Amino acid sequence: MFSVSALVRLYRYPIIGHLAQRMVLRRGADIPRSVKIGHRVSFPHNALGTVLHPDTTLEDYVKVYQNVTIGRGNIWLDYHAESRLRFTVKMGAILCAGCKIICSEDELVVGKNTVIAANAVLTRSTGDNEIWAGIPARKIRDLGVGSEQTTIINSPSGKTFEID
Per-domain boundaries in the chain = 34-162
Among 55, 118, 61, residue whose Cα is nearest residue 88: 55
What are the b/e assignments for 29-53, b being 16+ CB within 10 Å? bbbebebebeebbbbbebbbbbbbb
**pLDDT at 162 (0 to 100):** 52
Tell me which residues of the chain have a pLDDT lower than 70.
1, 79-83, 145-164
Distance CA(102)–CA(121), nearest Å, equals 7
pTM for the structure as a whole: 0.81
**pLDDT at 150 (0 to 100):** 47
**pLDDT at 159 (0 to 100):** 52
CATH code given to domain 34-162: 2.160.10.10
**pLDDT at 45 (0 to 100):** 86
Return the DSSP state at 110: E
Interior angle at CA 18, CA 16 and CA 19, nearest 5: 65
**pLDDT at 63 (0 to 100):** 95
**pLDDT at 81 (0 to 100):** 57
Amino acid of residue 99: C
